[in-house]
């Protein structure tokens, strides 16, 4: 029979499987054929094939390939743990962005046990087991198969009537929908990374589990590169750098709610100034809506019924109020407060709103996952014929913002989920999706399509920025919403005098200001470009008698809008330089007798290059231009 495999038509015998086709195509290397799609659906390698089928083999570099590879590795981890601690109770073991984890009940171990686990993993991999799928007849059979594991039984009870499956590899059997690697010898490098506690199903009222994190690769070179990446990421950890640079802190009295320090506020305000300047240039208006609003509002928006557990609620004068977890409903009230003409559209309304969301304490992570944060939301109201142009302008807006930080990005378009789970007509979805896709095509950048991954209320574009060490962060989003204009009965008066429903776009570029702050700390490793830097210039005195000149020079520099500090301590010059460098100071100016006499300063840049005597006026002209242009590179250095 004939099928297509990786775009080529091939002849295969009756009864063939994807495993047979992979061998025929010589896809036997560890990084090749780690997963396979059959007619666009992920399947196992022993799935039956039929005339006309379409196969695509995925390698390790494909995101779906990585997911299968790492999920299979999580099963290997669970098997190793059970061999060493048979009383442990496996719960779930998903692939995550960088590797995988597995949660265990009834397991008390530490990182000192990692070598023993890794040794057992090596033994399992050497056995070259082939994961095998078995479909169970229903919940009754599934519960019998996992009767000794209450966590698995709870999962089974929550399943719908769809087929329930398990996977086995040797003596190990796990509840799993799959698919898995064709054989475990694809895994050539495996390492445990860390151990932590985790509540069952993320509920602080439930059992505390032991979570083991790991990563695996199809060759040892990739593992070595990844471990080097982790070392670099550790050096850039924004939590440690934030303390070292005195930018922000976290207190037990306000978990998940960062304290921004004076130096951190310099960066914060520069980010806001930059954003507001861009908003003004793009013809946005800015509003500010109340922090707390009534239960009735959140019922109307739907948050009360679907997001209540993440909201902070208070009772005032016999009425329920909630601190806003997002800005959208407040903007709907603003729009509805006036009669709008088609001539006003598009109306671009921005709000840098302070929102609060309850996150489990175990999920909190510095500035990356907080309970209190600021969103740079905007809601754009328009006619249907304006969708494509508005999205194109948002993409241009985002490009300007991200390129200023030196952040490349990728775009992803998420389309309509299963029709029964969405609102709006087929025509509305088609028009909305075509508007987003048309804008992306007109923009001319490559983009991915995530079929069925849109929101229930409309399709969306997500923007993932890439930092200096190659990590992607989802910050920007453009979402077309057909729900809120309907719920809040928003209208405009069209040219024919009829009241019509506007199309509305949500958009965010920074996303969370706190999270972007943390990303930038790590992206720049604390070495901010001058315009963002909280330590722009430091003057170092050689002796006490040079202090008056240093302070006069500092005042002159501050009057030009730069942050300037003076170190007139009695420490050695070497110590003063090291202290300034630890604070990632952009420019160090040393002053002594000669500099006072010549009205100059000796310049040292952050990359530790000594430039010698500089004319103060010339220095100021260069660095002020650097600041005003928001340059990423110093005019005195090849390094930022």
According to CATH, the topology of domain 64-232 is 3.30.980
Q: Rounded to an integer, what distance in angstroms lies between the CA atom of residue 286 and that of residue 541?
A: 46
pLDDT exceeds cutoff 80 at 437: yes
Q: Of the listed 357, 374, 507, 627, which one is catalytic? A: 357
pLDDT, tens digit, for every residue of 379-419? 999 998 898 899 999 999 999 999 999 999 999 998 888 77
Q: Of these residues, 153, 328, 331, 564, which one is catalytic?
A: 328
Q: Which position among 379, 576, 584, 627 bears the catalytic label?
A: 379
Phi, psi (rounded to 5 degrees) for 36: -145, 140
Q: Exactly one of 44, 377, 467, 481 is catalytic; which is it?
A: 377
Is 375 annotated as catalytic? yes
**Overall CATH class of domain 537-628:** alpha beta
Q: Is 460 one of the catalytic residues?
A: yes
- Residue intervals in the chain for CATH 3.30.930.10: 265-289+324-524
Ranges for all domains in the chain classified under CATH 3.40.50.800: 537-628
Are the C-beta atoms of 21 and 49 separated by less than 8 Å? Answer: yes
3-state secondary structure of 402: helix
Report d(CA 91, CA 58) in Å as an integer. 28
| Residue limits of CATH 3.10.20.30 in the chain | 2-26+33-59
Please say if 606 is a catalytic residue.
no
Whether the pLDDT of residue 352 is over 80: the answer is yes
Classify domain 2-26+33-59 by CATH number. Answer: 3.10.20.30
Q: What is the pTM of this model?
A: 0.83
Widest pairwise Cα distance in the chain: 93
Both tokens assigned to 468: 């200096």
Of 130, 180, 356, 506, the active-site residue reads 506
CA distance 336 to 349: 13
Residue with tokens 């989802």: 474
- Is 357 marked active-site? yes
Residue pair 613/598 in contact (Cβ under 8 Å)? The answer is yes
For residue range 2-53, list pLDDT tens digits in order: 888 888 888 888 888 999 888 888 988 999 999 999 988 899 998 998 988 8
> Within 10 Å of residue 235's Cβ, how many Cβ atoms?
13
> Was domain 265-289+324-524 assigned CATH 3.30.930.10?
yes
The single-letter DSSP state of residue 637 is: -
Residues spanned by CATH 3.30.980.10 within the chain?
A: 64-232
pLDDT in tens, 171-221: 999 999 889 999 999 999 999 999 999 889 888 789 999 999 999 999 999
Average pLDDT over residues 407-436: 81
**Mean per-residue pLDDT for 220-228?**
95
Tell me the CA distances in angstroms from 455 to 311, 359, 414, 422, one per residue in order: 20, 21, 8, 8
């Amino acid at each position: 029979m004939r099928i297509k495999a990786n775009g080529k038509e091939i002849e295969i015998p009756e009864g063939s499987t994807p495993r047979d086709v992979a061998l025929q195509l010589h896809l036997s290397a560890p990084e090749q054929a780690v997963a396979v799609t059959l007619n666009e659906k992920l399947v196992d390698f022993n799935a039956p094939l039929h005339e006309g089928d379409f196969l695509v083999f995925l390698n390790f570099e494909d995101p779906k390939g990585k997911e299968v590879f790492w999920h299979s590795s999580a099963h290997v981890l669970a098997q190793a743990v059970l061999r060493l601690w048979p009383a442990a109770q496996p719960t779930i073991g998903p692939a995550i962005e960088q590797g995988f984890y597995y949660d265990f009940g009834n397991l008390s171990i530490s990182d000192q046990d990692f070598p023993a686990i890794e040794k057992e993993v090596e033994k399992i991999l050497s056995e070259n087991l082939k994961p095998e799928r078995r479909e169970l007849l229903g919940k009754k059979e599934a519960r019998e198969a996992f009767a000794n594991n209450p966590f698995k039984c709870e999962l089974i009870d929550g399943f719908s009537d769809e087929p329930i499956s398990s996977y086995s590899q040797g003596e190990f059997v796990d509840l799993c929908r799959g698919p898995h690697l064709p054989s475990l010898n694809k895994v050539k490098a495996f390492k445990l990374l860390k151990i932590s506690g985790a509540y069952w199903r993320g509920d602080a009222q439930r059992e505390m589990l032991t979570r083991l994190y790991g990563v695996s690769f199809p060759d040892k070179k990739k593992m070595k590169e990844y471990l080097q990446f982790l070392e670099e990421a550790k050096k850039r950890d924004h939590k440690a750098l934030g303390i070292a640079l005195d930018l922000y802190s976290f207190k037990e009295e306000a978990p998940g709610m960062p304290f921004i320090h004076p130096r951190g506020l310099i960066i914060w305000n520069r980010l806001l100034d930059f954003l507001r300047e861009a908003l003004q240039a793009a013809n946005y208006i800015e509003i500010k809506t109340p922090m707390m609003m009534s239960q009735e509002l959140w019922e109307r928006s739907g948050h009360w019924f679907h997001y209540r557990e993440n909201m902070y609620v208070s009772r005032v004068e016999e009425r329920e109020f909630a601190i806003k977890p997002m800005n959208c409903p407040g903007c709907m009230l603003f729009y509805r407060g006036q009669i709008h003409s088609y001539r006003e559209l598009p109306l671009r309304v921005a709000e840098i709103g302070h929102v609060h969301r309850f996150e489990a304490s175990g999920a909190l992570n510095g500035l990356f996952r907080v309970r209190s944060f600021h969103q740079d939301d905007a809601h754009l109201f328009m006619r249907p014929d304006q969708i494509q142009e508005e999205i194109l302008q948002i993409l241009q807006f985002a490009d300007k913002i991200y390129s200023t930080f030196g952040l490349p990005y990728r775009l992803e378009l998420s389309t309509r989920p299963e029709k029964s789970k969405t609102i709006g007509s087929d025509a509305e979805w088609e028009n909305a999706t075509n508007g987003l896709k048309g804008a992306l095509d007109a923009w001319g950048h490559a983009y991915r399509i995530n079929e069925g991954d849109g929101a229930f209320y409309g399709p969306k574009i997500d923007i993932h920025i890439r930092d200096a060490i190659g990590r992607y962060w989802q910050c920007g989003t453009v979402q077309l919403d057909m729900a809120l204009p309907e719920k809040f009965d928003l209208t405009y008066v069209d040219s024919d005098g009829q009241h019509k429903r506007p199309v509305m776009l949500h958009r965010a570029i920074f996303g969370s200001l706190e999270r972007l702050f943390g990303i930038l700390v790590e992206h720049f490793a604390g070495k901010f470009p001058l315009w963002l830097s909280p330590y722009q210039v430091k003057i170092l005195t050689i002796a006490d008698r040079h202090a008056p000149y240093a302070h006069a020079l500092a005042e002159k520099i501050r009057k030009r809008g730069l942050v300037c500090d003076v170190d007139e301590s009695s420490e050695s010059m070497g110590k003063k330089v090291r202290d300034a460098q630890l604070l990632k100071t952009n420019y160090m100016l040393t002053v002594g007798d000669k500099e006072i006499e010549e009205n100059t300063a000796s310049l040292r840049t952050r990359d530790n290059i000594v430039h010698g005597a500089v004319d103060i006026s010339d220095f100021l002209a260069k660095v002020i231009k650097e600041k005003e242009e928001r340059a990423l590179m110093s005019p005195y250095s090849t390094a930022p």
